[in-house]
Amino acid sequence: MPRPVVRALTGVLALTAAAAVLPLASPLPAAADSIVVGGQPAPVADSPWAVALSSRDRFGGARAGQ
């Protein structure tokens, strides 16, 4: 194969490998039924105020403490 074709295939292979690995490096979404308080997961029932402060999806734009 001519050199330009090999370089192009190498670039495509490198981009494909990077695209395949990138989703594995990103953090996973948090569980919907727990929050992090003090660095450890805690059930929402233990700290409902934290959910009210942080969940725009559940409580909308007019949230307590904002």
Q: Which residue has the tokens 């090999």?
A: 6
Residue 46 lies in a domain: yes
Residue 65 lies in a domain: no
* pTM attached to this predicted model: 0.34
% of the chain beyond a pLDDT of 70: 42
Tell me the three-class secondary structure of 5-57, residue by residue: HHHHHHHHHHHHHHHHHHHHHCCCCCCCCEEEECCEEEEHHHCHHHHHHHCHH
pLDDT digits (tens, 9 = 90+) for 26-47: 666 655 556 655 666 767 777 6
For the ranges 3-7, 23-27, 52-56, the maximum mean pLDDT occurs at 3-7
Please give the tally of structural domains in the chain. Answer: 1
Which has more confidence, 24 or 63? Answer: 24
- Which domain covers residue 40, as residue numbers? 3-59
pLDDT band at residue 19, thresholds of 50, 70 and 90? confident
Other residues' Cβ atoms within 10 Å of the Cβ of residue 47: 16
